């Protein structure tokens, strides 16, 4: 697969996520843009690996998605400490964790459209 094709696929995932998640995010600014200041949204920051991890799961159970995200994404995130604690996640300020069901839905929509 060419880099251009990979970029197109990544863009399709990002647009689906923005449609499903950003439109209902509590961090949305009045103009519809992202209202986060001083940090990058966890979904955007981890997008390529996130798509890879979530695409490898096919389950009706959300706990399997949560466990994979915690293991594969949170475990490598700068906001999680060595003990596995994340202040953003614990305070409900991690968009990835807060909106994971919507992220899964967006990724499944893109996967379904491309099959």
Both tokens of 49, joined, read 């690996």
Tens digit of pLDDT at every position of the chain (115 positions): 788 888 888 899 999 998 998 888 877 777 767 777 778 889 989 998 999 999 899 999 999 999 999 999 999 999 999 999 999 999 988 999 999 999 999 999 998 876 6
Q: Give the per-residue pLDDT at 8.
A: 87
Domain boundaries, position 26: 3-114
Give the 3-state DSSP-derived string for the chain, with helices as H, strands as E and coil as C. CCHHHHHHHHHHHHHHHHHHHHCCCCCECCCCCECCCCCCCHHHHCHHHHHHHHHCCCCCCHHHHHHHHHHHCHHHCCCECCCCCEHHHHCCCCHHHHCHHHHHHHHHHHHHHHC
Contacts of 105 (CB under 8 A, 6+ apart): 20
pTM given for the model: 0.84
Number of compact structural domains in the chain: 1
pLDDT of residue 1: 74
């Amino acid at each position: 697969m060419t880099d251009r094709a990979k970029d197109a696929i990544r863009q399709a995932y990002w647009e689906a996520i923005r449609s499903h998640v950003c439109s209902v995010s509590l961090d949305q600014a009045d103009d519809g843009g992202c209202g986060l200041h001083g940090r990058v949204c966890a979904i955007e920051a981890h997008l390529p690996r996130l798509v890879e991890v979530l695409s490898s799961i096919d389950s009706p159970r959300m706990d399997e998605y949560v466990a994979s995200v915690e293991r594969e994404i949170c475990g490598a995130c700068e906001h999680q400490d060595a003990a596995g604690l994340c202040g953003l996640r614990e305070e409900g300020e991690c968009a990835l964790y807060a909106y994971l069901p919507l992220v899964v839905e967006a990724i499944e929509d893109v996967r379904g459209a491309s099959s």
